[in-house]
Structure 1
Amino acid sequence: MVKATVAAKVNKCRNSFIGFQLLGSPCSLGNVGMRSFALVPTVCVAKLIEVTAMQKQFLPTILGICFFFGVCSPSAREGSALETVRRSTESIVTECAICHSTKEAQRGPVLHGMDAWYLLSQIQKFHDGTRGQNTDNRSEYLMGIAVKKLRNKREMNVAAKWFAKQKPMPAIRTVAGDAKSGAALYASRCAVCHGDKAEGKLDTASPSLTKLEGWYFIDQMRKFRNGQRGQNALDPGGQVMAAAVSDLTPHQISDVVAYVVDAFGPPEAPSLRQRFLPLPLETNSSRQ
């Protein structure tokens, strides 16, 4: 397909072009929809050259040299260009925030205020394939694809540090449970790693739970329990977590999540019902 397109373009150069700019390719191959063959300033200076009969004869040779040395190669030119372009923090974060904020209805977890070390470690795990390879875990699989937009270690660090510095966002309470049961379970099963107040412990690589939304918290607990997360040998923290919740019942998981979110979680946001449904009218008895 590429050879045919290039050949067609070269023929067009030979038959109809009077002059062209030689900027690394024998003619403006980018015009045929091949972005990777745009003009390349590293091969020759920008100069308008009149096409002569003799110069036309050398077009195949020039094109052959171009391919031989890889200067027209998409990976060679585009890859080096990506590495040299230093993106701003705003540019990096804007892409992440599409899913990791409250801008979209179908989204990932809000990351504002989470531990920078934990965010960076998870980004790295998605980037190197430790997480995000299980197609049964759809949200993680999508994250494994999206994280490739962070092109290098600097951009990973920028994203993690930016979200960590943000003020935690209020969250709607979405999980109901028995607070008393949840408190007892947390004290006996979770506090040793995550702290008495769910503040997290860096020495055990246990993140704070205080910024988690209920829906995301319970979703991850279920995935740890059913084997969709924490099964990779390169993720020892995930394996520990999967083992810790393996014998919890669905009700116990709900109790723990509801307790942690209510006791230590982000500020409560009003639900849609609270925001849009009218308040009940006052009655004489309520006034009294």
Structure 2
Amino acid sequence: MKRLALLLCVVLAACSNDNVPDVSSEKAAADALQVLQQSSSADGKALYAACAACHGAKGEGNVALSAPSLVNQQDWYLFRQLNGFRSGLRGSHPQDGYGAQMQAIAKTLPDEAAVNAVVSYIASFSAEPAAKTLDGNIKRGADYYSNLCGACHGPAAEGNDKLQAPALAGVDDWYLLKQFDHFRDGIRGADEADRYGYQMGMMGKTLPDAETAKDVIAYIQSLAD
């Protein structure tokens, strides 16, 4: 679980606004690869050291590096996404430069024990809702969320592990918007083998425009206040 969490940190850091890794993120990826190669698969704390450069010592994230907070992501979801990178279900699209970077790192994890070790270490951090960075029409967003998102992600965006729908409240709003754009544009979830990603890819096309997406995410962010 610990190595998985570390790889996930780097994977999430790879999703920037322009999908093109910059020098700092490339260095973080190189550092992560070195740590993964030198650390025990059971040493989540040591493995997380490579994540901390982008995601922070306590998983708080860094918007300047396009590295989302990890502390508001559920452990089962982190585990699934990290394995998605390892298998190639995520990060294979040619326009997803950061995803490709994370995929390369994830594939260095030798087994699921390593993945579990990193995730377990991240789970030891204190959770705190991410800071608001986007504005939108919360009332309109609430209407769209209730009609299109709430059935899976929950009325308070608390998530539903039985449906494999992660919690959204408290997650970085800028990161949610970027991932929604990826689903809408087919950059993420285009592979039918990625069952849940493919489902979200279809949902990403249901909102009428980019402003509505911001409204929905502004509403989700308000649920964490």
What does residue 123 of structure 1 align with?
82
Q: CA deviation at 1:168?
A: 2.1
Is the 2:91–2:100 Cα contact (8 Å) retained in structure 1? Answer: yes
Q: CA deviation at 1:171?
A: 2.7
Aligned residues: 184
The change in CA–CA distance for 1:258 and 1:113 in structure 2 (over 3 A counts) is closer
1:212 aligns to what SS in structure 2? coil
**Which whole-Å deviations, capped at 9, do the CAs of 1:146-196 have from their partners, x for residues lacking one?**
223433211100112222332224533111110000011111110000001
The change in CA–CA distance for 1:103 and 1:170 in structure 2 (over 3 A counts) is same
CA distance in 2, matches of 1:107, 1:146: 17
Q: Choose from 201, 222, 225 the match for 1:262.
A: 222
Q: Which runs of 5+ in 2 are unaligned?
A: 1-36
The change in CA–CA distance for 1:191 and 1:85 in structure 2 (over 3 A counts) is closer
The change in CA–CA distance for 1:104 and 1:210 in structure 2 (over 3 A counts) is closer
How many percent identity over aligned positions? 29
The change in CA–CA distance for 1:151 and 1:83 in structure 2 (over 3 A counts) is farther
Q: Choose from 134, 137, 145 the match for 2:104.
A: 145
2:107 aligns to what SS in structure 1? helix
CA distance in 2, matches of 1:192, 1:217: 18
What does residue 247 of structure 1 align with?
206
What does residue 93 of structure 1 align with?
48
Is the 1:112–1:211 Cα contact (8 Å) retained in structure 2? Answer: no
Q: CA deviation at 1:217?
A: 0.6
Q: Which runs of 5+ in 1 are unaligned?
A: 1-81, 268-288
Q: CA deviation at 1:209?
A: 0.6
1:243 aligns to what SS in structure 2? helix
Q: Which has the higher contact order (CA 8 A, sep 6+)?
A: 2
**Which whole-Å deviations, capped at 9, do the CAs of 1:206-254 have from their partners, x for residues lacking one?**
0011231011010001111111111112211011111112031111100
Written as runs of structure 1 = structure 2, the 5 A alignment for 1:104-183 is 105-183=64-142
Question: Which stretch has the larger CA shift, 236-245 or 98-107?
Answer: 98-107
The change in CA–CA distance for 1:99 and 1:150 in structure 2 (over 3 A counts) is farther
- Computing the radius of gyration from Cα coordinates, the structure with the larger value is 1
Measured on the aligned residues, the alpha-carbon RMSD in Å equals: 2.2
The change in CA–CA distance for 1:84 and 1:174 in structure 2 (over 3 A counts) is closer
The change in CA–CA distance for 1:239 and 1:146 in structure 2 (over 3 A counts) is same
CA distance in 2, matches of 1:209, 1:193: 11
